[in-house]
């Protein structure tokens, strides 16, 4: 069943052209005493994901129109969840802050930008996150996380899960 696209979203899709996607910042860490090479299923490691839309901004570029920048934070953490503890025991995490840039000429209002950012930009960022996460898992010898080609959690407007 096809999802109906709103007028604002369609305006944005018609006007915005992907220009770049890049990693702005990253963090990755294993907890003291956690050896990922020997982590096994008996430890009860669970994986939690983060997918947060941080902000959007319009940047003027010389003689070439404007850029829309969409900032997203994505992350994965390996935890041991305990029923009687409020906060999980975080064994490791990998996070990345990405920027997706779109060139456009013409007028779009903030509602168009917001809808595009929340419903479309993740499609452009996801492959970069997927590759980054896979490479970091390998480098850190963390249990592999194989993300599907496309999968989106609901965006959160909350701080990082650390």
pLDDT cut 70: percent of the chain above it: 87
pLDDT at 45: 87
Do 36 and 141 form a contact (C-beta atoms < 8 A)? yes
Q: Which residues of the chain have pLDDT under 50?
A: 1, 151-162
Q: Which fold has domain 7-140?
A: Bacterial Protein-export protein SecB (3.10.420)
Structure tokens at 91: 């064994």
Rounded distance between C-alpha atoms, residue 50 and residue 117, angstroms: 16
pTM of the model: 0.83
DSSP, res 32: T
Torsion of CA 59, 64, 52, 150, to 10 degrees: 180
Per-residue model confidence as pLDDT tens digits over 57-104: 999 887 767 899 999 999 999 998 777 778 889 999 999 999 999 998
């Amino acid at each position: 069943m096809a999802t109906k696209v709103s007028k604002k979203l369609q305006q944005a899709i018609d006007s915005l052209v992907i220009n770049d996607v890049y990693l702005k910042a990253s963090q990755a860490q294993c907890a003291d005493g956690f050896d990922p090479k020997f982590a096994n299923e008996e430890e009860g490691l669970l994986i939690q994901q983060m997918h947060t839309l941080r902000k959007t901004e319009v940047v003027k570029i010389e003689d070439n129109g404007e850029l829309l920048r969409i900032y997203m934070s994505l992350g994965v953490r390996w935890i041991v969840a305990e029923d009687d503890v409020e906060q999980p025991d975080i064994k490791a995490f990998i996070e990345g802050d990405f920027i997706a840039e779109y060139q456009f000429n013409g007028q779009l209002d903030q509602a168009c930008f917001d809808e595009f950012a929340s419903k479309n930009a993740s499609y452009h960022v996801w492959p970069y996150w997927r590759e980054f996460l896979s490479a970091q898992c390998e480098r850190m010898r963390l249990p592999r996380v194989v993300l599907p080609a496309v999968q989106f959690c609901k965006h959160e407007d909350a701080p990082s899960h650390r």
